[in-house]
A and B are shown apart, each in its own frame.
Chain A
Amino acid sequence: MDFTLTKEQQDIINAAKEFARKEFPDRAQEFDRDETFDFEIWKKACNLGFVGLNIKEEYGGQGLGIFEHCLVTEEFWAVDAGIGTAIISTAFGSELLSLYGTEEHKRKYLPPLVSGKSIMGTAITEPDAGSDVTQAVTTAVRDKDEYVINGSKIFITNGDKADFLVVFCRTEPDNPNKYNRYSFIIVETNRKGFEANKLRGKLGIRASDTAEVSFSDVRVPISNLIGKEGEGFKELMMFFDLTRLIVCAEAVGIARAALEEAINYTKKRCQFGQPIASFQVTQFKIAEMATLIQAAKNLYYEAAWKVDHGMVDPKLIAMAKWFSGEAAVRCADEALQMHGGYGYLDEYKVQRIYRDAKVVEIYEGTKEVEKIIVARAYLPKY
């Protein structure tokens, strides 16, 4: 098996790394403290082609794979998770449009995402429907040539910043098969009846906005339907197969950041007359972190490579997702510990890494959900 990256992939990594190192570090703490973001950085990222690079060329993108998307994400998160998310998530959901949208959707919505003129979000989660999306009760009822949408969604990334959201709605409540009840519908956020409320005080990735959104009799034309009515669940599963890989890349990125902080700090910090890096306990921890990162990376590389070669493997993606999430949390925890009391202070980057890292075990399928998927592959009858 050949794990060598192509020259183009290596160039993408280098460019993403260079951009992140130049733009992120000076602002990261400010955004984290104030829960804000400077969208000029997003625009610059768009100008350099980092956003939506897996969108086809005819819609303004570069037509690259999910793997390349992951590579950029990993490099961004290796510098700062909050800013990384704030940038990358502006096209969160474009995969749904690319895969299932009409020609008109793609022409209308995709190019501005790439060029930094528009921001989107995807709204699936509801107060009572997280891991089990089939509990979602936001409805879209057809009224002549419009859908009337009612309901509320929570934890929606960019909910209050987006120009439009792709919303997971119940369109066929009476279908006996609960997996055939849903559809994705585009909702422009300037429509009457739409409201968004920014959620403040997140534990981490605070540069990225998360909101509660509500729809009360929001009307959109039926042409805003993505794909086929009733196929939303199936589309969502495919979508998650892609976005979970992106979260794997986030996890590996932030785990690398933790390792980097740990290495730099333990080499510098002396106790008992020697650098703490010289203690065997420290060395073994570093060894374990590096191993976890490499293993997580190999898992997602393989899973993403398969996707780009037309062999989507949900089980492998799920393995990569829970494993990399756990690796990220563990690496962040160890890195904080190696900083002693300083790790507990706001001034130290490792503290932010620690808070940011936790999210990768939660969104796009919690660790438990991923294990359910893996287990089903091995014990299909249960």
Chain B
Amino acid sequence: MEIYFKEEHEIFRKTIQSFIEKEILPLVDEAEEKEKFPVELFPKMGSQGFLCIRVPKTYGGRDGDKIMECIAIEELTKGSSGITSAFTTHGGLATDPILRFGSEDQKQRYLVPAVKGEKIGAFGLTEPDAGSDAASLRATAEKRLGGYLINGTKTFITNGPICHYVIVAAYTDVTKKGSGINLFIVDRENPGFSVVKKLTKLGHRSTETGELSFDDCWVPKEQMIGDQEGGGFNQIEYTLRSGRISTGARCIGLARSILEESMYYVRNAKKQGRMVGRSQSVRFSLAEMAMYLDVMKAITYRCAWLYDCGKVTMKDAAIVKLFCTETLCKMAYDGLRLQGGEAYLNSNLMQRLLRDSRLHRIPEGTSEIQHLLIFNELGI
């Protein structure tokens, strides 16, 4: 791994680790239990430059690279996967399209405050009937009075209930499947915008996920990302490609926790002379966990490096997401079993790690969709 990490990366890792320990860890249990995100963390993260790692200095950012972003995500997830969901979405899906395709004005109005943590962003693509097949989304943006009238429902939106703005995908031209989509920035204050409900989830309970409704939600044309109608789908793909690499980093964070917890448990069991500490099958499980973690790190950071070199393909990113999320679940299952009845209790960290790990095979393209993406680039 060392080949990908420069000194600045190592220093950064230490800096963010101590921040997490001091500012985030004390909040985790309560946030998980109450299913409430501690929003005060946003400005705190922002003031340290931890939020949107890759934003250039001109917009108040840190001008870091994808590797640095992955380090941040890995360490944050190691602290709390639930809380990290909010930051990953904010620093990725909810700001990337503005950073890459937005106007100068949008960058000033949204990116700058997002970097500082003064504005919280969300990204609304998925709809009740359009998940894997995102191009079949039904939200529309009709040209009206020098702007657009947005109508539609978005669901599973990370940060939806706490966001200040959401980047929403809608059809400007319904006759052009896929290519007729655009991204718009909608402010929370917009009278047509509302949070329909907050969703109760298996894991990542400290992030707030919601269903959002856009009901005759008018926005001036300056809220469209990019200056032409159409082309939003490419912007989404660009954003997701980066997001899938970030998912690799999230899996590494969780995998580290799982291995650590399992080792701790087995080490103790060994001291107490219990069978778990001596059994060969348990040792094999631990060896496998260590192997998976190593491979996860290798492919994720390699892919981040490719990203920084401008050479990454969707296949690379999909391989990272598919491999890391699937092996992470295997680790979580073994980790849970290893602890016998104890891990079946809520007070046990392993139980949370399992519930959190299970998520990643679903969003930003399910495992099945990653298979399709990889195959598509094989050129058959």
Contact = CB atoms under 8 A, between A and B. Distances in A.
Interface of A: 125, 128, 130-132, 135, 154-155, 199-204, 270-273, 279, 281, 329, 333, 336-337, 340-341, 343-347, 351, 354-355, 358-359, 361-363, 366-368, 371
A272 B371 CA distance: 16
Contact of B345 (A203, A346, A366): A203
A273 B136 contact: yes
A229 to B, nearest CB: 27
A201 B345 CA distance: 6
B144 interface: no
A271 B344 contact: no
Given A337-B361, A354-B202, A362 B341 contact: yes
Contacts of B361: 337
B200 A271 contact: no
B58 interface: no
A172 B376 CA distance: 68
B273 to A, nearest CB: 9
Contacts of A345: 199-202
A341 B131 contact: yes
B200 A201 contact: no
Nearest to A272: B133
A131 B275 contact: yes
B336 interface: yes
Interface residues of B, number: 44
B250 interface: no
Given A201-B345, A362-B340, A343 B279 contact: no
Nearest to B275: A132
Nearest to B340: A130
A337 B202 contact: no
Interface centre among A271, A273, A346 (most CB of B within 10 A): A271
B175 interface: no
A343 B345 contact: no
Contacts of A270: 129
A361 B130 CA distance: 36
A337 B341 contact: no
B362 A344 contact: yes
B79 interface: no
B201 A344 contact: yes
Interface string B301-336: 000000000000000000000000000010001001
Nearest to A352: B202
B201 A358 contact: no
Nearest to B329: A333
B228 interface: no
A21 to B, nearest CB: 25
Contacts of B18: none
Contacts of B362: 337, 340-341, 343-344
Interface string B345-374: 111000100110011011100111001000
Contacts of A333: 329
Contacts of B201: 344-346
B337 interface: yes
Contacts of A336: 358
A256 B126 CA distance: 30
A235 B74 CA distance: 50
13 contacts: A130-B340, A155-B341, A201-B346, A203-B343, A203-B344, A204-B344, A270-B129, A279-B368, A341-B363, A344-B358, A362-B337, A362-B341, A363-B341
Contacts of B340: 130-131, 362, 366
B136 A203 contact: no
Contact of B202 (A131, A135, A200, A344): A344
A202 B272 contact: no
A321 to B, nearest CB: 14
A56 to B, nearest CB: 32
B230 to A, nearest CB: 21
A358 B367 contact: no
A73 B143 CA distance: 60
A340 B337 CA distance: 25
B261 to A, nearest CB: 15
B369 to A, nearest CB: 9
B156 interface: yes
Contact of B347 (A132, A201, A371): A201
B274 A200 contact: no
Contacts of B129: 270
B202 A199 contact: no
Interface centre among B203, B341, B343, B354 (most CB of A within 10 A): B341
A154 B363 CA distance: 38
Interface string B89-106: 000000000000000000
Interface string B115-126: 000000000001
